[in-house]
Chain A
Amino acid sequence: MYELFIHQWKEKVRSSFWQKNIFLNILLGILGLYFVANIVVVSLFADKILLKIYTDRNVVEAFTGLLFYYFSFDLIVRFLFQQLPTISIQPYLTLPIKKSLLLHYPLLRSITSFFNVFAVLLFLPFFIKNIWFTQSFQFSFTWIIIALSLVGTNNFLNFSLKKYFSKIPLLILTFLGALALIIYLDITNVYSFSDYFAEVVYYLSANSLFVILPVSILALSYYSAYSFLRNHAYIEDPHSKAAAKSAGLTIFDQFGEIGQLIGLEVKMVLRNKRPKSLLYIGGFFVLYGFMFYRKENLEDYFIMSFMGLLLTSWFSINYGQYLFSWESAYFDAILANKIGSFNYIKSKHLFFSLTSILGYLTILPYAFISYKIALINAAFLVFNIGITSVIILFFCLFNKSYIDLGKSQMMNFQGTGVVQYLLLIPIAGLPFLIAFLCNALGGLQYYYYAIAAVGFLGIVFNKNIIQSIANKFERRKYKMAAGFREK
């Protein structure tokens, strides 16, 4: 088992990604530490925050109640993003190593996943400050065991849920819908699951023997995940029995070479784990509107610009920053086949435009708050089609990192380079520059018109811009292809 962990560690540190991007490693290290510090600080000062929200409630009781939400959301997010740890044991299956050991290994390895580390960082400082030093040993001991058992249960339960639900996609929606309904009923005080959850935890914490219950649930979830792995521990691709999905996507084929390339891009997004998970993440972006689209923010240029830009281009920015890298596994096929550079780049631009329009339609209901939202977002839609998307296209010509389409997006930095950071400067900076110029000329009230006008100019000159990007692509393609071949 120890050797397997060592191999796992070597796999991480010896991957070409970590060896190539020293600057990025340092940056990610700093960001990681900053992230950890943030969680720890939130946990340490959670009591102060809770006292302000729940003035008449015990802090530990309030925190325990909130754990209900945490575990519900945790299960949803894990379900969408946490990867099954099955593939890593494949090279060892034919070696003289006990099969049971090989099956326990990935499960035990999953304990160190981001989701579990996050939970421990969030719970532990609060626990030490507010429970360990103030409550009885019995209560403290039982409380932390329950909390950690539930983290572990979610970890292993997720693997089993994926197994059963993957066969019937409708069940996934039912499961997610049920969880969302429970949370909604709780928030609207129709039925307070969180209070009930806190009561149960308190009841169990009153007697150390009751610790058996959460630990048993944890053991059961572990056994269920183990059984799943045992039944699938053969070299057989998990998708092998699945029929080809989105097979009917032939609508684009009638639009010639460009349509075909867009169709290929759509299939790539829908059939591969990492790009597909960006669609799920997009769902969260759309919800930002509930936070920011308030009557008092309608005159705030900064907030409205930020939201307009983000909500109409979340997919093209998120997906587009890795453009070309998505095709790294078959980039040679693109180069060697009869695909013209102009059409290739044009198809990418049209794909971005389509996703921006879809993004705009998705957030159109926010117009019920104010019609101004729809108009401002329309200006940014034009800006994104004319300007943002071509900026992304140009910058991505300098990205030559390979991406494994089958890996999860969560905490996955493969394909990330300096380009992704530089890209944000013109995307975010240009609207500010336009606002600055409007203000300097004494016409800030015309800012949104200016945004739309600049975007419109981008659309008018689109053919020339795409042609110059295609020319640049012709010069850059060798370096890009060489980079993509270095997996």
Chain B
Amino acid sequence: MIEIIDLKKIYGSNTALSIDKLKIDKNEFIGLVGNNGAGKTTLLSLILDLIKPTAGCVKSKSIKVSASNDWKNYTGSFLNEGFLIPFLTPVEFLEFIGNLHGKNSADVSNFLNENVHFFDKDAFSNKYNRELSSGNKNKIGILASFLSMPELLILDEPFANLDPSSQSWLKSKLKKLNSEGTTILISSHDLKHVTEVCSRIILLEGGHVIQDASTSSDTLVELERYFEV
């Protein structure tokens, strides 16, 4: 699904990311972990063609993401608040994203009803996205990312700012999407969540892949030991 070849992102003298080879197969559920500055968001941004690589390339379905916009047809993503349109209401925003993927207002309404336990649209019908709390902004961004039932889902720290119920709901939802065929790539600082839902963990440090392995019953303990100060 995703292939990373000799990928480098360098800012001045600082190498933010350097990965020789990395493959993400269809239907995998991958968790990126690492300290601040490890290169998690940089990697996700490069996969989404938001930043230009200094060297190398990212291929999605064997096509360079920088050479074609085809990947946008089957990729859902939410990295941060910059992915939200601040002056739209949550429903308007979801309708905007839905329409881009050929969905009408009724489809979006049904989608919101299905996910009402995660986000109650009626409670925020008169608010613009910019007026929502960080948690609710995250919820809207996450919902928008899988509104079109994408083949590839990319989320940066999806559990951040969410209340416990929403975190639990999101874990179940992501597992369900993955079981239905969606390839998922998330980053997270929450080792417990990430080891719980992901089938493969990639540990980044200083822009390099330190460890890349399938999740096992020992993964959480190993990671906790690695990050121990």
Contacts and interface: CB of A to CB of B under 8 A. Distances in A.
Contacts of A339: 72, 100
Given A237-B130, A244-B127, A260-B99, 5 more contacts: A244-B125, A330-B85, A336-B72, A338-B69, A341-B69
Interface of A: 237, 239-244, 247, 253, 257, 260, 264, 267-268, 271-272, 329-333, 335-341, 405-406, 478, 481-482, 485
A267 B97 contact: no
B83 A267 contact: no
B51 A405 contact: no
A329 B127 contact: no
Interface in B63-87: 69, 72-73, 75, 77, 79-80, 82-87
Given A331-B82, A485-B82, A268 B100 contact: no
A65 to B, nearest CB: 44
Interface stretch (B12-20, B88-96, B184-192, B210-218): B88-96
Contact of B82 (A242, A253, A267, A333): A333
Contact of A332 (B75, B79, B130, B131): B79
B126 A243 contact: yes
Nearest to B73: A338
Contact of B96 (A264, A331, A336): A264
7 contacts: A237-B131, A239-B128, A260-B96, A260-B99, A329-B82, A331-B82, A335-B49
Consensus secondary structure, chain A interface: helix
A330 B144 CA distance: 14
Consensus secondary structure, chain B interface: loop
A348 to B, nearest CB: 16
B92 A247 contact: yes
Given A247-B89, A260-B99, A330-B85, A481 B126 contact: no
A283 to B, nearest CB: 22
Given A257-B100, A260-B96, A330-B82, A336 B50 contact: yes
A268 B87 contact: yes
B144 to A, nearest CB: 9
A473 B100 CA distance: 20
Given A267-B87, A330-B84, A253 B99 contact: yes
Interface in B114-137: 125-128, 130-131
A242 B89 CA distance: 12
Contacts of B83: 330, 332-333, 336
B84 to A, nearest CB: 6
B72 A337 contact: yes
B26 interface: no
B89 A244 contact: yes
A330 B50 contact: no
A125 B49 CA distance: 59
A237 B52 CA distance: 37
B126 A336 contact: no
Contacts of A331: 82
B127 A405 contact: no
A485 B41 CA distance: 14
Contacts of B51: 478, 481-482
B68 to A, nearest CB: 10
B79 A264 contact: no
